[in-house]
Chain A
Amino acid sequence: MSNETRADMQRSESAMANVPEQTRPGPVYSPAVDIFETDAAITVLADMPGVKPDQLEIDLRDSVLTLKGRAASPATTAETDVLREYETGTFLRQFTLSQTIDQAKIDAHLSDGVLRLELPKVERAKPRQITVRTK
């Protein structure tokens, strides 16, 4: 086995170990996200169509942020499929946060199936301009 293959295998093993096991059966999807950073905060935007605010869990422990939202199937049992292009299930995504995030001030907002998560940075992590003084 070449070193490259071994490294690949180890990588996929560790990737698998990171996926938490689900207790509820059903498909699990990774939502599309935008993540951007400004001097003051990091913002995460995630598309979770069909997830109601009470079905959304945001969990932060050991610096791992877990976003989990469950979308229930809106169809009643009397309905039969004509065309199916998407399935409903659970949206799940995890991120590791650095210590520069002020974990007490995280703010989450869900509207129209889009989650907006504001992760403010702690004061000391904000960049400062240092002006050079001349005599």
Chain B
Amino acid sequence: MIVRRVWPARPTFDSSLRDFDQLRRDMLHMFDAFAGERESATPSGVFPPINITQDNDHFYLRAEIPGIAASDLAISALRNHVSISGKRELPKEHERASYHRKERAEGTFNRTVALPTGVDSDRIEAHYADGILTLVLPKAAEAKPRQIVVKT
């Protein structure tokens, strides 16, 4: 049995929908557990899959892009939009090679995600290691939460 590991989840920032999304995922897990199957999901057709997390000062964007040269990635940011584009090329193998399985995809991709608040586009850092692209996006000064001291 072949199971691809792409979640069907559509990108959503709406927290009320997120709870439903989590519930839906938990139920899919449960059905799979009853059926005795491993993790499965229908492919969403979106490449690369992206996770975004945040803490007080930063957004962290992580994308699964295995087997790409860092120079083939183009990243741009404008206000609260971040774009990742690139080309995944699989090296040409032996010309007499006969394929038994060909599941890995290649081609160009381009994704733009909107972050909930603006980011400081001058200080964005990008790393690529073990097939994971990580962007550290500092939140714009006006978007950072402030501690308010209660005076007595």
Complex interface: chain B residues within 8 A of A85 (CB): 6-7, 9, 11, 44, 46, 49-51
Q: Any chain A CB within 8 A of the CB of B102?
A: yes
Identity of the chain A residue whose Cβ is nearest the Cβ of B56 in the assembled complex: A78
- The answer on a CB contact under 8 Å between B13 and A19 is no
- The answer on a CB contact under 8 Å between B53 and A39 is no
- The answer on a CB contact under 8 Å between A82 and B59 is yes
Identity of the chain A residue whose Cβ is nearest the Cβ of B6 in the assembled complex: A86
A111 to B69, CA, bound (A): 11
| Complex partner residue of B7 from A50, A52, A75, A87, CB under 8 angstroms | A87
- The answer on a CB contact under 8 Å between A32 and B103 is yes
- The answer on a CB contact under 8 Å between B49 and A86 is yes
A43 to B101, CA, bound (A): 11
- The answer on a CB contact under 8 Å between A113 and B66 is yes
- Give the interface size class of chain B: 35 or more
Query: From residue 7 to 47 of chain A, which have CB atoms closer than 8 A to chain B?
Result: 15-16, 19, 27-39, 42-43, 45, 47
Complex interface: chain A residues within 8 A of B93 (CB): 36, 43
- The answer on a CB contact under 8 Å between A48 and B51 is no
- The answer on a CB contact under 8 Å between B113 and A47 is no
| Complex partner residue of B67 from A29, A38, A47, CB under 8 angstroms | A47
- The answer on a CB contact under 8 Å between A82 and B7 is no
Q: Any chain A CB within 8 A of the CB of B146?
A: no
A34 to B105, CA, bound (A): 10
- The answer on a CB contact under 8 Å between A50 and B132 is yes
| Complex partner residue of A51 from B4, B98, B130, CB under 8 angstroms | B130
Write the nearest CB–CB distance from B137 to chain A, whole angstroms.
11
Contact string, A58-92, partner B, CB cutoff 8 A, digits 1/0? 00000000000000001110111111111101011
Complex interface: chain A residues within 8 A of B90 (CB): 34, 45
Q: Any chain B CB within 8 A of the CB of A101?
A: no
Identity of the chain B residue whose Cβ is nearest the Cβ of A114 in the assembled complex: B67
With A33-B103, A34-B90, A79-B60 given, is the CB distance from A28 to B39 under 8 Å? yes
A35 to B102, CA, bound (A): 7
Query: From residue 95 to 124 of chain A, which have CB atoms closer than 8 A to chain B?
Result: 111-114
| B residues adjacent to A (C-beta < 8 A) | 1-7, 9, 11-13, 18, 29, 36, 38-39, 44, 46, 49-56, 59-60, 62, 64-68, 90, 93-94, 96-105, 113, 115-116, 128, 130-132, 134
Instruction: List 14 A-B pairs, Cβ < 8 Å.
Output: A29-B5, A30-B3, A33-B101, A38-B96, A38-B97, A47-B104, A48-B66, A51-B130, A81-B51, A85-B44, A85-B51, A86-B51, A112-B68, A113-B67
